[in-house]
Amino acid sequence: MKLGVMGGTFDPVHYGHLVVAEGVRYEYRLDKVIFVPAGRPPHKADRPMSGPEHRLTITALAIASNPYFEVSDLEIKRPGLSYTYDTIRELQSLYRPEVVYFITGADAVLELLSWHRIRELLAMCRFIAATRPGYNLENLTVKLKLLPASLVERIVPVEVPALAISSSDIRRRVSEGRPIKYLLPEGVEEYVLSTGLYRQGLHQETSFC
Ligand code: ATP
Ligand code: MG
């Protein structure tokens, strides 16, 4: 089994995430892509996030129509900071895949050097760096020169149709009363608007309480 893992805060999930996951699934003939909403990501610890139940629900709504996609509450349930290293280990023991592809956008992969146990993580799974508007994959190549070549080989850039969509922009739009239609699946839009998520600008709830 070839397993894809798509990590993110998904606050909210949008078409940028879905296009990346589906593009990589097809390109690498993955049997399954698991979306793992982040619990307490160490690199976002200083900013408020919507409650995990909201992010889990909207991710489930967003992926419902794709038979290859699943959502996991594994990071949300795990106490403490969420490290991808622990997540991949857990998924490996659950699914026993032959290979794991961790799917990220170019911006996330540029920060890779600061990730917890990055060398071990790169030895455990391949990284797919999807193109994202505004982030230069050449910068990545320069940064990665700091890692041994055997590990750099584990990171593969992939071209996906560029969607200049971000969760931050969607949150800002909601707080300003501007439309978010066509940036994310309808079910997610309805959920966001009916629950009042992001309306106050800041999040009403955080996952740290
Ligand atoms: P925020 O603005 O809050 O950081 P985001 O849109 O970047 O949200 P995340 O949940 O941080 O969404 O992203 C999860 C993963 O999806 C990351 O690896 C990110 O690089 C990738 N990603 C998000 N949006 C896109 C996009 N439009 N194109 C390509 N990759 C994306
Ligand atoms: Mg982001």
Residue 78 DSSP symbol: S
**Ligand 1 probe mutation, 107, 159, 198, 203, most atoms within 8 A of CB:** 107
pLDDT at 202: 55
Mean pLDDT of 178-189: 98
pLDDT at 38: 96
- Cβ of 24 closer than 6 Å to ligand 1, yes or no, is no
For residue 110, give the nearest of 127, 98, 96 by alpha carbon.
127
Q: Which ligand is nearest to the CA of 58?
A: 1
| pLDDT at 204 > cutoff 70 | no
Q: Which ligand is nearest to the CA of 12?
A: 1
Q: Which tens digit of pLDDT belongs to each residue from 91-145?
A: 999 999 999 999 999 888 888 888 999 999 999 999 999 988 888 877 877 877 8
Residue 155 and residue 126 in contact, taking contact as beta carbons nearer than 8 Å = yes
Number of helices (H) and strands (E), helices first, in the chain?
10, 6
| Class of the CATH-defined domain 2-163 | alpha beta
**Averaged pLDDT of the chain:** 91
pLDDT at 113: 83
Q: Where are the domains of the chain?
A: 2-163
pLDDT at 201: 74
Mean pLDDT of 18-35: 97
pLDDT at 169: 97
Mean pLDDT of 195-203: 84
pLDDT at 184: 98
| pLDDT at 203 > cutoff 70 | no
Question: Which atom of ligand 1 is least distant from the CA of 169?
Answer: 2
Residue 87 CA to ligand 2 center (angstroms) comes to 18
Q: Which residue has the higher pLDDT, 150 or 66?
A: 66
Q: Buried b vs exposed e over 103-112: b needs ≥16 C-beta within 10 Å?
A: bbbbbbbbeb
Tell me the pTM.
0.94
